[in-house]
């Protein structure tokens, strides 16, 4: 069987699974052929090799908006590119959050997927960034803006998009639907055929697509092809867990959703084998893990449980829950890995902590974040109750103290959080405002009345460079510390995203794990004091091999006596390695 015949057959099987219960106006073979044609896959393509890791220990992804750093009279994407080159050369990949024309939600309500927001720059600017670093782009696949041409045509009842949106009836049983918002699910919309009630998982400006219509799938495959041509090599599938809807169902994590992701992966990897798919599924941990499939779905999944659990450890001084979770996490098989982060443009999600943190722990965590200036966003449960959904706060402020209140250890605690995250199995993602030590933006919060705005500051380049050139400023110290950590991390083969990881048992104040390189030549014992007390680390509990030479990679200090007891200062981390690369 030829490569093309095999691809055609595989796509037909996937499409048959997706549309098994749907009458579509195109034959499955014809649809498969059309998708192949759109992706420009030819008979000369290679069969993708399974279980291949398209990443290494050198990969660090920075998360940023296109206008997180601005300079008067210059396109923000140009400013961003120059700033990265000047100050963030340690970063080899960048996730530019939605850079398209939009109407709300800071870019996630897309008006036109095929254009770059003129206020940011052009496709040439996007491609210029992609020419120097791996570029990650959002594929906002669940919904679009109510101001898009597609939705305008839906309202007119004619033209491209008039049948792209999911509707239901007000008297349908929608009580089981799971969603992260408190607004009403259905949006009444006048059309030539009468009032239609459009499904809106997130807001009434974000109208959900109806993937039962294969034309919607065709449109997104066209979009993917355009992004590949522009240099995008990592696709973040935004809110993809909600993609397929069934009235009377929870309408989350449905089998058809998983099959759509598998189909998109099949197309993408035949077009360009080293492209990565990351699914953004802010849901309980066990559900999140299913998006790996059998190494045939997402290449990476967000480690959404890490931020709340790590912050909980650092404000309580106990790693109990963090350690339990890490012990329960399955090692990612080759061809898959975790995407680790502790801060992003969104808040710190609490749903991924459900079942991992006790309710009273979550309550304490929420109360502490409020004391540090954070906002709390809620969702409506299936019982109609309001429940905290995410904590909105800058990470630097979130870690300025403990449950006892603010203290003098904020900087050390903040750096400790990153030493833990950078050493864990997976690819690290660091928010630009973490790299810069940005604080809560109360002015933006007041101006927008949106809780998430508190962590979406926009820096003026001149003011930022003034801060970064002042060695005494928090911003300069943070960037220096994190740059040093990244430079050390990226030189260690034991920090390959798929290198072996085992959890250590060193009590509740010391959080530790062991990494071993895939060739077994390097071991690193990563141990952090998560408390505000000086804590003893008994080196002999690590079972270091006496014939090896050991060194703390972070301080450069050799471990002369493997029977010694080392005192770890509050929030100090050691990376004890037998090889210094």
Quick check: is 210 catalytic?
no
433 annotated as a binding-site residue: no
299 labeled part of a ligand binding site:
no
As a whole number of angstroms, the distance between CA 95 and CA 134 comes to 8
Strands 573-577 and 523-529: what pairing?
antiparallel
Please tell me whether 345 is known to bind a ligand. yes
Active-site pick, 59, 67, 125, 238? 238
How far is 513 from 507, CA to CA, in rounded Å?
12
346 labelled binding-site residue: yes
What is the per-residue burial (b if ≥16 Cβ within 10 Å, else e) of 343-353? bbbbbbbbbbb
Residue 59 counted as an annotated binding residue: no
Consult the annotation and say whether 105 binds a ligand. yes
Structural element, H or E, at residue 484: helix 474-489
Cβ atoms 65, 107 nearer than 8 A: yes
- Structure-token match 């559900």, residue found: 287
For residue 232 the two structure tokens come to: 């995008």
Residues present in the chain in total: 581
H helix runs in 46-99, sequence order: 76-87
Is 197 known as a binding-site position? no
As beta bridge partners, residue 232 has 135
What is the three-state SS of 405-461? EECCCHHHHHHHHHHHHHHCCCEEEEEHHHHCCCCCCHHHHHHHCCHHHHHCCCEEH
**DSSP SS3 for 466:** helix
Contact between residue 243 and residue 231 where contact means Cβ atoms under 8 Å apart: no
Which residue's structure tokens are 């049948």? 163
SS3 content of the chain, % helix, strand, coil (to 5): 35, 20, 45
Residue 270 is assigned to a ligand binding site:
no
**Annotated binding-site ranges for substrate:** 105, 143, 236-238, 345-346, 452
The catalytic residues are: 238
Which residues sit in the known binding site?
A: 105, 143, 236-238, 345-346, 452
């Amino acid at each position: 069987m030829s490569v093309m015949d095999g691809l055609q057959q595989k796509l037909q099987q996937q499409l048959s699974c997706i549309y098994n219960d749907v009458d579509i106006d195109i034959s499955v073979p014809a649809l498969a052929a059309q998708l192949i044609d759109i992706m420009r896959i030819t008979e000369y393509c290679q069969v993708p090799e399974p279980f291949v890791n398209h990443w290494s220990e050198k990969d660090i992804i920075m998360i940023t908006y296109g206008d997180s750093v601005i300079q008067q009279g210059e396109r923000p994407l140009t400013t961003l590119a120059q700033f990265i080159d000047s100050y963030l050369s340690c970063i080899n990949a960048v996730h530019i959050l939605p850079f398209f024309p939009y109407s709300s939600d800071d870019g996630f309500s897309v008006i036109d997927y095929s254009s770059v927001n003129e206020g940011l720059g052009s496709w040439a600017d996007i491609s210029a960034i992609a020419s120097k670093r791996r570029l990650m782009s959002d594929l906002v696949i669940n919904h679009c803006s109510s101001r898009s041409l597609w939705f305008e045509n839906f309202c007119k009842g004619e033209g491209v998009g008039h049948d792209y949106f999911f509707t239901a009836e007000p008297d349908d049983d929608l009580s089981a639907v799971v969603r992260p918002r408190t607004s009403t699910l259905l949006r009444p919309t006048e059309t030539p055929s009468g009032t239609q009630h459009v499904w809106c998982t997130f807001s009434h400006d974000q109208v959900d697509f109806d993937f039962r219509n294969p034309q919607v799938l065709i449109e997104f495959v066209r979009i993917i092809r355009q992004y590949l041509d522009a240099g995008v090599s990592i696709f973040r599938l935004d809110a993809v867990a909600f993609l397929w809807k069934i009235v009377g169902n929870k309408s989350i994590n449905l089998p058809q959703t998983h099959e759509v992701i598998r189909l998109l992966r099949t197309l993408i990897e035949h077009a360009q084998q080293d492209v990565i798919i990351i699914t953004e599924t802010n849901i309980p941990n066990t559900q999140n893990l299913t998006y790996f499939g059998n190494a045939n779905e997402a290449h990476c999944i967000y480690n959404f449980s890490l931020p709340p659990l790590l912050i909980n450890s650092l404000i309580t001084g106990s790693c109990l829950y963090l350690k339990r979770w890490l012990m329960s996490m399955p090692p990612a098989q080759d061809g898959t890995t975790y995407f680790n982060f502790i801060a992003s443009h969104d808040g710190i999600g609490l749903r991924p902590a459900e079942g991992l943190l006790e309710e009273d722990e979550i309550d304490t965590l929420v109360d502490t974040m409020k004391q540090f200036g954070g906002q709390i966003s809620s969702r409506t449960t299936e019982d109609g109750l309001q429940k905290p959904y995410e904590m909105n706060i800058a990470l630097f402020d979130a870690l300025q103290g403990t449950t006892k209140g603010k203290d003098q250890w904020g900087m050390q605690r903040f750096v400790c959080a990153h030493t833990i995250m950078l050493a864990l199995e997976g690819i690290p993602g660091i928010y630009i405002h973490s790299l810069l030590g940005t604080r809560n933006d109360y002015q933006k919060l007041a101006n927008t009345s949106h809780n998430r705005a508190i962590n979406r500051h926009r820096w003026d380049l001149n003011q930022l460079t003034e801060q970064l050139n002042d060695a005494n400023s928090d911003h300069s110290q943070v960037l220096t510390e994190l740059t040093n950590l990244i430079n050390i991390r990226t030189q260690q083969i034991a920090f390959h995203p798929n290198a072996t990881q085992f959890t250590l048992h060193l009590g509740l104040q010391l959080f530790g794990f062991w990494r071993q390189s895939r060739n077994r030549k390097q071991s690193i014992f990563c141990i952090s004091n998560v408390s505000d007390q000086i804590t003893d680390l008994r080196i002999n509990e690590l079972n270091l091999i006496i014939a090896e030479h050991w060194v703390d990679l972070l301080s450069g200090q050799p471990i002369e006596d493997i029977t010694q007891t080392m005192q770890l200062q509050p929030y100090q981390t050691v990376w004890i390695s037998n090889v210094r690369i």
